[in-house]
Structure 1
Amino acid sequence: MNEAWTQRDSRIRFEWGPTGAGAVAVGAAFVAVVDVLSFTTTLSVAVDLGISVLPYRWRDGSAARVAAEQDAVLAVGRREVVAPGQVSLSPATLRGVSGVERLVLPSPNGATVAAGLAEGGARLVGVSLRNAEAAARWVARQVGADDVVAVVAAGERWPDRSLRPAVEDLWGAGAFISALVGAGLRGHSIEAGAAVCAYESVAGSVPTALGDCASGRELIAHGFPEDVASASEVGSASAVPVLSDGWFVAASDG
């Protein structure tokens, strides 16, 4: 790894996808994973409801087995929902659900990034536009004077499976980084600063921007406008998902 890519001299770092996570997470006290449409938005809704979430890699046939072993519900793909009360990657399916305490949540991007970082022992925080400010305030209370915070935008995938940088994740990362700076953390990288600028450009019109971006248009075209609406709930969540023993749970200040 080229050391210039690690942003090692910066206290707040920002990069994209699994490879970028590997570059900037080294030595970080916390790593924030951002996947606005929809892993970390769904994660935020789940933790708000007191549901523990296991991030799981996408389309792995072992997911059902793991869910059974963990006495958990397996979230299916959006288009695989066939009955009321079935949970999917869509955050809307969690609203009004009852009896779910543990959820295995696969996704091709956010969950995959989170699972990879967890294997390396990173202290993870799940960040969406719903909880970016609350997450930043919590992280700021935990870190020491010289601690590093890395922020990873999960992005999406092109048909050839290469990373497609997704502007909604740039906005989510920027909202979180902006709140970290507002909480007193200094020394962000140029890349982190660019994310802040991107968020500031849409901060007053997030619902419209999310609906107009490529990922939002895709979800709306496929019949999931409610997912875009859920992701647009800026600042609505106070619960902060943190990884503990492999599961995302609501953070405490202890």
Structure 2
Amino acid sequence: MGAFDQGRYQVRLDWGLAGLERLAPADVYVIVDVLRFSSSVAAAVTDGGTVSVDAARSSSINGAPLAAAAAALPHAPLVLAGSLRNASAVARAIKAEQERRSARTSVAIVPAGERGAGDAVRFAVEDQLGAGAIVDALVPLGIDHSSPEAVVAAESFAGLRRAVKHLLTASASGLELAEVGRVDEVRAAAAIDDLDAVPVLRDGVFTAL
């Protein structure tokens, strides 16, 4: 185990493609891109729709490529899309996968952040909160052997839960979307656990688990 792969923990967290590659191989990967990829995919599959990850690349430079990278890992993990809107549903799906496997199931939470110049990843408030909401929802299910990185995200969500809507609309990503008339999408993405659907990526397509 390396110092940065978090392999000694059941629940791990790191940012972007570099973080995904840095983490020890996990049984389940949860891609978190709250504004807007994960939230919109969860809404789409709730209504019975499907989302091709390749088609989504044209509008998502953060979440969609991460999901594709996770799906391409040689050990063929389960790849889910998580957000504030379906955090508890994702946690329940992870618990169900552990029960199905009848074995301790490792989880890699990968907040996307925002890609900038040279593919550097900018910290994104919304993805920190979304990732933290999922880690927080895993705790009462007994999946709580979490890395410090995952614990910090969970505690940030727990402490700021009541301020989530304000934080998202006031964040850099939220303001950017508001400037192009998409503030309603930001407000929708700030809803906590209003969706029960869990998007799972199989054969390049997200469908409801």
The TM-score with structure 1 as length reference comes to 0.76
Residue 91 of structure 2 aligns with which residue? 136
CA distance in 1, matches of 2:95, 2:69: 24
Query: In structure 2, what is the Cα distance between the partners aligned to 1:18 and 1:194?
Result: 20
Whole-Å separation in 1 of the counterparts to 2:179 and 2:160:
22
Match of 2:120 in 1: 162
Aligned equivalent of 1:152, options 110, 113, 118: 110
- Matched-pair contact (CA < 8 Å) for 2:125–2:167: no
What is the CA distance between 1:53 and its match in structure 2? 1.2
d(CA) in 1 for partners of 2:196 and 2:18?
30
1:117 maps to which of 58, 62, 70: 70
The aligned counterpart of 1:207 is 165
Residue of structure 2 equivalent to 1:29: 27
What one-letter code is carried by the residue in structure 2 that aligns with 1:108? Answer: I
Distance 2:40 2:49 in 1: 11
What SS does the corresponding residue of 2:53 show, helix, strand or coil? strand
Contact 1:41 1:231 in 2 (8 A): yes
- Contact (CA 8 Å) 2:7, 2:24: kept in 1 or not? no
Matched, 1:105 2:105: no
Aligned position for 1:8: 7
Change (3 A) 1:153 1:25: farther
Question: Please, which moves more after superposition, 152-161 or 106-115?
Answer: 152-161
Considering only aligned residues, what root-mean-square deviation do their CA atoms show, in Å?
1.4
Matched-pair contact (CA < 8 Å) for 1:130–1:233? yes
Aligned mates of 1:32, 1:235 — CA distance in 2 = 16
Question: Could you tell me how far 1:225 is from its partner in structure 2?
Answer: 0.4
Is 1:194 the counterpart of 2:152 in the alignment?
A: yes
Asked if 1:183 is matched to 2:181, the reply is no
- % identical aligned pairs: 38
Shift of 1:158: 2.5
- For 1:19, the equivalent position in structure 2 comes to 18
Match in the other structure for 1:242: 200
CA positional deviation for 1:174: 0.3
* 8 Å CA contact retained: 1:25, 1:31: no
Q: Which has the larger radius of gyration?
A: 1
Residue 61 of structure 2 aligns with an amino acid whose one-letter code is P
Letter in 2 for 1:225: V
| Alpha-carbon shift at residue 182 of structure 1 (Å) | 1.5
Tell me the CA shift for residue 25 of structure 1.
Answer: 5.1
Q: What residue ranges of structure 2 are gaps of 5+ in the alignment?
A: none
Mark the runs of 5 or more structure 1 residues left unpaired by the alignment: 57-103
Report how many aligned residue pairs link the two structures. 202
